[in-house]
Chain A
């Protein structure tokens, strides 16, 4: 077992345990903190795969900006165990059965899965910003531009939902 493998297993264990705690912790603030820990583990995986830029972006954007926003929202909404909606036992049971059967399907399928190795071309510098930028603006230019359309649509939507409809009231009165 090489050092690479050992780090891989530690990071994987870290990510899975933290992800489980995100789901089962009662306090939403704890959930968010565990989610940040999960993101750090994922960033570690990115570095192992030679994707340094992705790793840094993941920490700055997700663990940094978005999660802080999450924390603020949770604190403003003052969520805790008291305000958690009570679900009936039947719903719990149905969720357990359906999620359990999905787990069973996925586990039994992956037990037999033969993983095909995807050959990695120019392995050394694949994660560098220069190479990433070239690929992004060469082969993946269409998805890149389309995601800007997607964000524009989401931005318009946020404005439509968020803005007060005062103009309407004035005109009707």
Chain B
């Protein structure tokens, strides 16, 4: 429980720093140190748990079964906090430029991580609800933090209003499930307790599906995504599209794998399958028509959500592995490409023209990240897609779904490679808003090499499961 407490304490520390510190740069240093501490605490927690496990003293259930803290969840927390650490190192400079409340922005990031840790360890619908709220409310604020930009305010308001509705739907689902099952404990759900299907519970499942689908921007609940991701300040978009999204997917998968395990497979294959097909179709086809790379990445995140839906469809041991690999591959690659995007002045495709001539290093990292997102072999994205598809294929009746997903992956090659083409084969004068520092180069090199290393040996990520 050390990391969970630490997130809240670190957030408060950041706020106190905002009172006393005047230099904007020191906020980023302080936040990076605290984030490194958070990674350390997570590793300590993991080691501690395994030491107790060896002497058979450990129990994953904490606080009267409110949380279930096992190796899998702890390992996910370690990975997510490490990704957040690299995220701060890479985009910290840009966060300082968003507005004056830099300390508070970092505090809100720590609150979001509190929500992330809750979503990975919840065992009770109450905690799921609180986790999603702690995760969402800072996001509403962060997306509207650039107050001089009207689009940012629009994004914030849109996200807040729609998010409030989805919270209402989530609560309705939780209430119906409680009414049907008499418990909030996700391991206590039995849809056939009376012999026949508990229909009220199924309506609850439907409501929860809509609410969680909204949070992960699965079609047809995706309408907020392009406007919010495009309007928010770019560094915060990078956080919202990666760490937040994969954490909600983690919760989504655990709910269907552990909570709704004895629900009819029809739900997973047909209902979730329909959502997957729509998400892949809308995300990929609309991404093709975008002029701005930032907006294209927003649609690409919808398309990637379609692939991550396979994890929920699968809901098996393979899906657990796929979830970890996809989370890391997608987060690293997206943070990397956003890191490059933040350096550029012009977010359209033309802004990338000739980047390879002028800044070959930036172009190289961007290409590696884009190829990983497209799922080219030898990058982490390839094995991520391979694992989630293998997980889905273990469910009977998903063959055509997988074929469709592969076709859509081919479509995605078009818009990812459009950026690479612009960088390498077109001539232009790309303008940078901030110079590339040594720090940026080191972090980008780490991200780029991590994408390739995990693409060669994905088993490294599965060491703790």
Where the two chains meet, the residues of A that have a C-beta atom closer than 8 Å to any C-beta of B are 105-106, 109-110, 112-116, 118, 139-143, 146-147, 149-150, 152-154, 156-157, 159-161, 163, 165, 167-168
Residues on B with C-beta less than 8 A from A153 are: 11, 108, 111, 114, 134, 137-138
> Do A160 and B66 form a contact, CB below 8 Å, given A105-B203, A153-B111, A165-B147?
no
B78 within 8 A of A: no
By beta carbon, the residue of chain A nearest B194 is A114
| A157 and B193 within 8 A (CB) | no
The residue that A150 contacts in the complex, of B64, B105, B137, B147, with Cβ under 8 A, is: B137
Residues on B with C-beta less than 8 A from A149 are: 8, 111, 114, 134
| A118 and B182 within 8 A (CB) | yes
Binds A, one of B125-133, B348-356, B369-377, B435-443: B125-133
The residue that B141 contacts in the complex, of A112, A160, A165, with Cβ under 8 A, is: A160
A134 to B197, CA, bound (A): 36
| A161 and B200 within 8 A (CB) | no
A161 to B137, CA, bound (A): 12
Residues on B with C-beta less than 8 A from A112 are: 199
Residues on B with C-beta less than 8 A from A163 are: 101
| B134 and A116 within 8 A (CB) | no
* Shortest beta-carbon distance from A150 to chain B in Å: 5
A146 to B114, CA, bound (A): 9
| B130 and A150 within 8 A (CB) | yes
| B67 and A168 within 8 A (CB) | no
| A160 and B108 within 8 A (CB) | yes
A109 to B133, CA, bound (A): 29
> Do A109 and B141 form a contact, CB below 8 Å, given A139-B64, A142-B67, A153-B134?
no
| A167 and B108 within 8 A (CB) | no
By beta carbon, the residue of chain A nearest B203 is A109
A113 to B201, CA, bound (A): 9
| B179 and A160 within 8 A (CB) | no
| B108 and A109 within 8 A (CB) | no
| A116 and B194 within 8 A (CB) | yes
B144 within 8 A of A: yes
A163 to B105, CA, bound (A): 14
| A161 and B134 within 8 A (CB) | no
Residues on A with C-beta less than 8 A from B196 are: 114
By beta carbon, the residue of chain B nearest A158 is B141
Q: Name 16 interchain pairs, CB-CB below 8 A, sorted by A.
A: A106-B203, A109-B199, A110-B200, A113-B180, A141-B63, A142-B127, A146-B134, A149-B114, A150-B133, A153-B111, A153-B134, A156-B107, A159-B101, A160-B101, A161-B145, A161-B147
A156 to B8, CA, bound (A): 12
By beta carbon, the residue of chain B nearest A112 is B199
* Shortest beta-carbon distance from B189 to chain A in Å: 12
The residue that B202 contacts in the complex, of A109, A118, A143, with Cβ under 8 A, is: A109
Residues on B with C-beta less than 8 A from A143 are: 66, 124, 126-127, 130
A160 to B206, CA, bound (A): 36
| A115 and B137 within 8 A (CB) | no
B384 within 8 A of A: no
| A156 and B15 within 8 A (CB) | yes
B118 within 8 A of A: yes
A106 to B111, CA, bound (A): 36
| A157 and B137 within 8 A (CB) | yes
B164 within 8 A of A: no
| B194 and A161 within 8 A (CB) | no
| A160 and B137 within 8 A (CB) | no
> Do A152 and B8 form a contact, CB below 8 Å, given A105-B206, A146-B118?
yes
Q: A143-B124, A149-B114, A156-B108 are in contact. List 14 more A-B contacts (CB 8 A).
A: A105-B203, A112-B199, A115-B179, A149-B8, A153-B11, A153-B111, A153-B114, A153-B138, A157-B137, A159-B101, A160-B101, A161-B147, A165-B100, A165-B101
By beta carbon, the residue of chain B nearest A165 is B100
A149 to B107, CA, bound (A): 12
A114 to B193, CA, bound (A): 11
Residues on B with C-beta less than 8 A from A105 are: 203, 206
| B137 and A154 within 8 A (CB) | yes
Q: Which of B88-138 contact A (CB under 8 A)?
A: 99-101, 104-105, 107-108, 111, 114, 118, 124, 126-127, 130, 133-134, 137-138
